[in-house]
A = this chain, B = another copy of it.
Amino acid sequence: MTQQISDIKQYMQQLGQQARGASRQLTVAPTKQKNDALLKIATALETNADTLKSENAKDLEQGKANGLESAMLDRLALTDKVIAGMAEGLRQIAALNDPIGEISDMNYLPSGIQVGKMRVPLGVVGIIYESRPNVTIDAAALCLKSGNAALLRGGSEAAYSNRALAKCIQGALRDAGLPEASVQVVETTDRAAVGEMIAMPEFVDVIIPRGGKGLIERISQGAKVPVIKHLDGICHVYIDTDADADKAVKVAFNAKTHRYGVCNAMETLLVAESRAAEILPGLAKMFVEKGVELRGCEKTRGFVDMAPATESDWATEYLDAILSIRVVQDVEEAMDHIAQYSSGHTESIITENLTTSRRFLAQVDSSSVMVNASTRFADGFEYGLGAEIGISTDKFHARGPVGLEGLTSQKYIVLGDGTIRE
């Protein structure tokens, strides 16, 4: 159903201009009005469930014809359960505190001025994503709640579904008295639209790509505006010389096997040499029984028989039932390994030693650093953010799970009484 749009640049500029206009209104939209819109979208999804499913069926049919894998088709499907989940998510976001307008650190200064910070929207957020049509709703909801206009570019394989979802959103925005351009879905599957979207700083303030590494790298390299992104999740668990063996086994097993295809799963296990003989054989047995393929360094293979790990294993995000294991001398060698191979996502140490834990927390340069906890906790909902639009492994602006706050900025506000600088 690719809409025929002859001049992509002009079309995207028009969307951008409309988004910028809507953003000025959204900045000052009352909390109640934004929440109304969110609740109305939820109702619209439920009311229009049949239409959503029949439009989605067209995408599924075309996907099958194009030979999409069944996992892809699963993610693409708008079932009753998925629709109910989207509506529930909207109501949860409506229930969160409004971050916009929050004033903090308000202090009087010797000159007589009173200075503080006010939380404000970023402006226009561009989101580029693949397959899952529920991202359309999640992203729209988070942007709306945080007072940002959203420009959404979904994958071509979900074009019918996204268009139907956009209709629900825009009807609800109209009913709530907010500009329809608050949330716009890009209605062309032409790739050039992405190129335009990431290169119009006058209309778009930040880009959030969600999808495979290839997509994210392409977008980061071409973008002329800031990008909130994460590339890899090569997460480590280090079992320290002073680890409690039960906790070590429990956490390491959970970090790898709770789910395989996720960015916060452990990919490499590091074990202090002095504890390897005691812990590794039993733990390895559990992994093997669970169906996890193990690849070890030479020392590891001295304790348990397994395939050898090569240099490239340390640098690989398997996203699968595969684990690399390395025996290290101590926490220093563990941190050296992490500094060299980690993607800066999440690392955890298992130790009972307070000093060692403090050193690990201070020194490891990742978006989440943990002690005696499973890396699987690195998640916006688990951290109590109430929502998540992605996980950032960059250090700039937002780092780690990004919720509503990551979609905001703070400006200074200054109050005086005719105060001048002497």
Contact = CB atoms under 8 A, between A and B. Distances in A.
A377 B414 contact: yes
A134 to B, nearest CB: 22
A67 interface: no
A409 B398 CA distance: 8
Q: How many copies does the complex hold?
A: 2
A400 interface: yes
A330 B348 CA distance: 57
Interface stretch (A83-91, A158-166, A300-308, A359-367): A359-367
Nearest to A408: B395
B416 A372 contact: yes
A338 B251 CA distance: 55
B376 A251 contact: no
Given A24-B339, A365-B120, A418-B247, A113 B413 contact: no
A13 interface: no
Interface stretch (A51-59, A177-185, A378-386): A378-386
Contacts of A123: 365, 395
A206 B397 CA distance: 12
Contact of A418 (B109, B246, B363, B365): B246
A409 B420 CA distance: 33
Nearest to A371: B415
A126 to B, nearest CB: 14
Interface in A382-397: 382-384, 395-397
A308 to B, nearest CB: 28
A276 B78 CA distance: 61
A326 B274 CA distance: 77
A363 B367 CA distance: 33
Chain A binding site: helix, strand, loop or mixed by DSSP? Answer: mixed
A205 interface: yes
Given A412-B369, A412-B383, A419-B374, A395 B205 contact: yes
A8 B410 CA distance: 39
A361 B413 contact: yes
Given A409-B399, A420-B254, A415 B372 contact: yes
Given A107-B384, A411-B400, A372 B417 contact: yes
B395 A412 contact: no
A373 interface: yes
A27 interface: yes
A50 interface: no
Contact of A113 (B115, B244, B377, B399): B377
Contacts of A417: 247, 372
A249 to B, nearest CB: 9
A122 interface: yes
Contacts of A382: 109, 111, 113, 421
A258 interface: yes
In the A-B complex, the 5 residue pairs with the closest CB atoms: A247-B418, A373-B416, A254-B420, A376-B421, A395-B409
